[in-house]
Structures are given as structure tokens and as C-alpha cells.
A = this chain, B = another copy of it.
Amino acid sequence: MSAEERRESVIRAAITEFARGGYAATSTQAIAKRVGVSQPYLFRLFPNKQAMFLAATERCLADTRKVFSDAAEGLEGEEALHAMAVAYQRLIVDDPDKLLMQMQMYAAVAAAEASGDHEFGESTRAGWLQMWDEIHLALGADVSETTTFLAYGMLVNTLTSLGFPAGHRIWSGFYESARPIA
């Protein structure tokens, strides 16, 4: 297998491992095992552990962006909003690692920023802005609608992360106001 292909599978493995353990608690050993390769070899493909985490977060953001843009393609306004909401819900159910990785990313960036490292946050902010702009366009360039959409998305992230099961009363407000499922 070529180094480039390996790097690909390392990124995929890193996403699932980092998603479950966060940055610090995930060992490069665990990633290597999932890839099916020796642990030191990872350091041929990436300069260090941080680079693996960064690659994983970037990939994760890009994948999420793609889910939105694919869902909204050819639609606009209310229809686009509904399609994106449904697509995001499907993403969370079908590929929970993406959501977990997102939460780990937020925590990691927050910690990095708090301790003076603004480099990591920079790339994440750029990815987020891209996602914001894409959703913004799909929703007809309505700023407040974009903000509201993302706000509900973040609440979904939080409640899902906390493990509130579907049907729990804490979800009831979604049917009345945002209707992301319907």
C-alpha cells in the first residue's frame, strides 16, 4: 500500500480513536492497531501525534460540510433547511464518531486557545467559517436563519453527547419550534 493510501487509513482510524478518547487519552498505539500497522510507522506518515489529530479534525469538518452541501444541492430556503437538518440527523445516527470528534475538537481548541496556542484554533475556525458560509448560502443568505440553524445544531450535538435518548422530554422543543425531524 502506498504511503498516501496509508495516510488516508490512518486519518480514518484516528477519527474513530480520537472520537472515543479525546486527544490525550488516545494512544498512537491504539491508532496503529486499528490501521493494522506498527506504532512507530505512524511517525513516518505524520510528524507527530498532534498532526494526526489535526488531520482528523480537518477531515471531520470537511466531511460534515459535504453532508450539508450535498443535502442542500438544488434546493433553497425552507426546503434546503429541512434537507440539511435531516441529513445532519442521519449523519449523527449513522456515523456517531463524527459528532464525538467534533466535541473533542471543541474541547481541544478551547484548551489550546486558553493556554496561548492559537495556531490549532486558526485552522478550525477557517473550517467552521467555510461551513457557516455554505449553510448561509443554502438558506438564501439570511444571517439570522443561519445562526438559528447552527444554534439548534449545537444543541443537538450537546444533548446527543450527553446521551439523552430519543424521545426524552428534553427533545420536545424541537418538534414545536425547529422541526428538524418531522
- Measured CB to CB, the residues of A under 8 A from B are 19-25, 96, 99-100, 103-104, 106-111, 113-115, 118, 121, 124-125, 128-129, 132, 143-148, 150-152, 154-155, 157-158, 160-164, 170, 172-174, 176-178
Contacts and interface: CB of A to CB of B under 8 A. Distances in A.
A111 B20 contact: yes
Q: What is the copy number of this chain in the assembly?
A: 2
A177 B125 contact: no
Contacts of A129: 170
B162 A124 contact: yes
Given A24-B25, A106-B103, A161-B107, A172 B143 contact: yes
B163 A121 contact: yes
13 contacts: A22-B107, A104-B107, A109-B162, A110-B161, A144-B173, A144-B177, A146-B173, A147-B173, A147-B178, A148-B178, A151-B152, A151-B178, A154-B154
A145 B177 CA distance: 8
Contacts of A177: 144-145, 147-148
A162 B20 contact: no
Contact of A111 (B104, B109, B148, B164): B104
A155 B150 contact: yes
B154 A19 contact: no
A117 to B, nearest CB: 10
Contact of A121 (B109, B110, B162): B162
A52 to B, nearest CB: 16
Contacts of A148: 148, 151, 173, 177-178
